[in-house]
Amino acid sequence: MASKVTPISGFQEWLPTERIAELIVLDTIREVFELHGFASINTRAMEPVDRLTGQGEDADKEIYGVRRLAAGPDDTGDVSLGLHFDMTVPFARYVLENAGKLTFPFRRYQIQPAWRGERPQRGRYREFIQADVDIIDEGRLPDHFEGELLLVVADVFSRLPIGDYQIHVNDRKICEGFYLGLGIEDVTGTLRIVDKLDKIGADGVQKLLLDAGCTPKQTDQCLALAEIRSEDTGFVEQVRALGVQHELLDEGLAKLAAVIEVANEHAPGVVVADLRIARGLDYYTGTVYETMLTRDPGYGSICSGGRYDALATDGKRTFPGVGISIGVSRLLGKLITEEGLTASRETPVAVLVAVTDEDSRPESMRVATALRSRGIPTLVAPKATKFGKQIQFADRRGIPFVWFPGEDGDEVKDIRSGDQVPADRATWDPPAGDLRPSLVVPDVSSSGRKPNDRK
């Protein structure tokens, strides 16, 4: 019985060339993470709901609960489990469970899907891939790691065709110390309101702050702080000029200045101090990051994170950490779906081995085995049709070479140029650029390409 296929919004499913592009991006991220000394881990998809909740204003309503379909009305045990909405909370649990087996400071990377029960929209999905790096220590985490993570991200993005971008950095201690210096008691609530600036604008934030009990002067000062941006350490004097004093404010300014100095030495032009950045999750305690594409800042952050000092604690020991997460699905939603990033072919195959007739198929399979043994992705033609049709089969899939076995010696044809030369299956190699598919970056500015409407 036929059934109608009903699309579900908020999930990415790619065509083969797009999937290969995604894999190239993921492999690049993984390679850079490992170059910077991070070890891979994998955590379970589910966590206890009570561990997931309470991490921010919207965390509770975003969690997907997990329950067996066959559960009876009195069987509510599974409801206590939920799908994780990020990698940081499960990583903190992982550290607590494995602290005796880990060597600190522990540097981990994790590339996995996460799930959020929010309304799907541009750049936001129900299921999405994140690529995280974190550094966590026991007792105390040195501040220099907060600048180091920026260099990891800058290295990743220098190898991907993402265009110009900026990492916006703040330190929540600056905001918290500033608010305390103003006499504001509800620091967390104020942070959450100011974090909505990009969504509701200054007028909206002003109204919410006044409704929350802030005086007009306090509100104006909060907005003035949030407007400060600087590509160097000039933000320090701009904050000082507002006339607010507090020890926590001094600490935050010094830490952020150190982060900016490191970034400007090793990745100049990439980082900007932006004092409106706060991040919505409550576990952040220090430096926070958000990364915007210069050509489309309204798309939102494609890479974010920050420092957390108390998320991983068992009451006796505390494991402070700092992490940053690349929103792979969000980034690819822009690059692939909207701008047409794709791969040079729809298959990993570099060589198609032709089949003269079915009696000769065993010899074609021997050629393929020899090439594969040397790491060359190879496919044997599925049918012993005319060579023209076999070449057409390869061309439609972007396979660059067709191999012709022969009694008097083999030959290989580059079907793009038409060149056909003798070849030895034991020694022949394709050009390095043809061995694997590569990214094809469209010229969006001149192509007039319209966004793809697939989700």
Which residues are annotated binding-site positions? 86-88, 116, 130, 134, 279, 283-284
**What gap in Å lies between CA 341 and CA 324, rounded to an integer?**
24
Q: How far from 144 is each of 6, 147, 259, CA to CA, in Å?
A: 50, 6, 8
**The two three-digit tokens of residue 163, written as one number:** 């265009």
Cβ 399 vs Cβ 345: under 8 Å: yes
**What gap in Å lies between CA 405 and CA 429, rounded to an integer?**
16
**What gap in Å lies between CA 24 and CA 30, rounded to an integer?**
10
**What gap in Å lies between CA 108 and CA 413, rounded to an integer?**
45
Q: Residue 278: exposed, middle, or buried by beta-carbon count in 10 A (0-12, 13-18, 19+)?
A: buried
Q: How far from 125 is each of 122, 130, 133, 160, 296, CA to CA, in Å?
A: 8, 12, 21, 22, 18
Binding residues for L-histidine: 86-88, 116, 130, 134, 279, 283-284
